[in-house]
Amino acid sequence: MAGSWKKITAETRKAAMKRVIAIADRASLASMKLLAALNVLAFLLFLAVVLMAASKARADTPVCGGDDLVAELSKNNAAAYRDVEAQAAAVANGKGRLWKLEKSGQKPSFLFGTLHFSDPRVTTLPPAAQQAFDATDTVIIETTDALDKNAMMGALAKEPNLMMFTDSTTLTSLMSPQDAEIVNKALDARGIPPFSVAKMQPWLLSTMVAMSPCELARQGQGAPVLDTKLARDGKAAGKAVEGLETATEQLRAMASLPVAFHVRSLIDTLKLGDKIKDVNETMIALYLRGEIGMIMPALKAVAPGQADDQAGFAEFEQTIVTNRNKVMAERAAPILARGNVFMAVGALHLPGPDGLVEDFRKAGYTVTVVN
């Protein structure tokens, strides 16, 4: 391992580090989180895994693809599509990415729902959002930790058990022999030696494989996800950039869910195989149409598996979405009070009775959809 690592150039190691940090900004059904390791040796090994995966993705899929599965559903299964539409229509504040926040005595601010992808269609703001972004003084994102890799790695090193098994547990020891075989074959197909990730927490690995090979390659080449791009653009324009959470808090939230749920999620994600690019494309297509409330019903319909675990999925939504909404709203309050703020967080945090749109209305803001 040491000998082969020396052959990797300094430039490649730097690119790999950027790739690790870029992963931090993802939070959705296919959420991607920062990956770290127990010690220097394990960390170098992980970077090698990322390099192999990104290299394979670049070789196999130089151009992104994928089909919009909801569009296919509307053509091939009208009844199922109507059910998805009905579920989406029942989601409060389910349409729209950009919302205006107004309160007496304050300059208006904006709430924008993001998708944690590097696809140019996603990272290019719609005109109204770009105009709002340009005019505001402050940018809020979920966490600014991802912008400082040294600070992030230092913080995560204090709680290695969030990312790795620190006892005798291994990934496959939590699975049946049949599921372990599925996982090992799928990892091999992605260019990831199963032994190299044997001590990773299952949720951590599932966030990695939930990306299409093309998205993995694009981020591996340094393309930022939307949230990171907004923070960088804000800094470059002289705006104040503030975060609402720490990376450690996000990791703790993921790690707090039952390990059995994470194992099932990993297996289901790997079973998708090449279909993962279609799932990613479906999320992007719905996002670009502003159909935020349709994302979860659609994914449950077109990519069944994880969603079949109703209790586990409900706990996931409560922990990863609802609980964090309350934290975000509370911590954003003093920043929003200054006015003229552009707040950008994962789009799934906006809709629903416990979403940020309703949270800010309860806080006294008039919240209206822009587009």
Q: Which of 15, 255, 232, 272 is nearest to 123 (CA)?
A: 232
Q: What is the pLDDT of residue 59?
A: 52
CB 370 within 8 A of CB 110: yes
Please give the model's pTM, rounded to 2 decimal places: 0.82
User: What is the three-class DSSP state of 96?
Assistant: coil
CA gap 335, 243 in Å, rounded: 10
Strands (E), the chain: 98-102, 109-114, 138-141, 240-243, 341-346, 366-369
Q: What is the pLDDT of residue 306?
A: 46
Q: What is the pLDDT of residue 329?
A: 97
CA gap 361, 356 in Å, rounded: 8
Q: What is the pLDDT of residue 33?
A: 27
Q: What is the pLDDT of residue 46?
A: 41
CA gap 143, 182 in Å, rounded: 35
The DSSP string of 25-70 is G--STT-------SSHHHHHHHHHHHHHHHHHHHHH-SS-----HH
Going from the C-alpha of 144 to that of each of 22, 52, 57, 200, 360, the distances in angstroms are 12, 28, 28, 25, 22
| For the chain, domain boundaries | 2-369
- Classify burial at 142, counting beta carbons within 10 Å of its beta carbon; exposed 0-12, middle 13-18, buried 19 or more: buried
Q: What is the pLDDT of residue 174?
A: 94
CA gap 309, 173 in Å, rounded: 21
CA gap 150, 168 in Å, rounded: 29
Q: Which of 120, 88, 125 is nearest to 110 (CA)?
A: 125
CA gap 161, 348 in Å, rounded: 28
Residue 228: partners with Cβ closer than 8 Å, 6 or more residues away: 22, 25, 141, 146, 147
For residue 268, the one-letter residue type is D
Q: What is the pLDDT of residue 162?
A: 79
Q: Please name the helix (run of DSSP H) or strand (run of DSSP E) that holds residue 282, with its range, or none.
A: helix 276-288
- Averages of pLDDT over each 10 residues, the chain, 371 residues: 44 42 32 28 40 52 78 94 96 98 97 93 97 98 82 73 86 93 88 85 81 79 88 97 89 86 87 87 95 91 63 79 94 98 95 97 98 87
CA gap 100, 365 in Å, rounded: 9
For residue 287, the one-letter residue type is Y
- Strands laid side by side in the 341-346 sheet: 240-243, 138-141, 341-346, 109-114, 98-102, 366-369
CA gap 236, 364 in Å, rounded: 32
For residue 6, the one-letter residue type is K
